[in-house]
Amino acid sequence: MVFAETNEGFLQDFDLSRLHSLRSLEVTASSVSQTRADAPYLLRDVFSTITSPEFSEIILVFQRPDLYRPYHIPFDAFREMYSKRKFRLVFCLEVLKKYRTAGLEVMRRRMDSEIAQQRLDFLASPPTLAIRGRNFWKGD
């Protein structure tokens, strides 16, 4: 099975067990989107290598293009991971300064929609919404 071989090679590169002070795992929304069939499995496998007692959050990073295209985040995978180890989920918007206000509103609506559809009901508390700037050649 090719997927298993690819997955094993991937995990050798992304084995997080050696990071003893790892506090958060940051992934882009596009990299874990279910538009890639293997994304939920790879995310769970990488998550399973975390042994740090300091680990406490997963940061799901959305960039401007992610806001305006349909995406399907594998919240079932997040639910399964949460059942094995509790974490805080952070929705982080990473955009240029000029897009922050509009982007934050879109992000807030998306997050509220996920909560309303009970896709995040496994979390002990609602996700955190964060925003940070990008600096493309000082175009921030």
Rounded distance, CA 107 to CA 58, Å?
17
- In this prediction the pTM is 0.79
Minimal CA–CA distance to 136: which of 93, 94, 96? 96
The encoded tokens of residue 1 equal 């099975």
Query: Residue 22 is which amino acid?
Result: L
Q: What are the backbone angles phi and psi of residue 97, rounded to the nearest 5°?
A: -55, -40
Task: Output the CA–CA distances (angstroms, integers) from residue 52 to 18, 20, 128, 133, in the order listed.
Answer: 8, 5, 22, 28
pLDDT in tens, 91-119: 898 888 888 888 888 888 888 988 999 99
Average pLDDT over residues 113-136: 86
pLDDT digits over 39-55, tens only? Answer: 677 888 888 899 999 99
Cα(121)–Cα(116) distance, integer angstroms? 9
**How far is 140 from 95, CA to CA, in rounded Å?**
8
Residue 107, both tokens: 């992000």
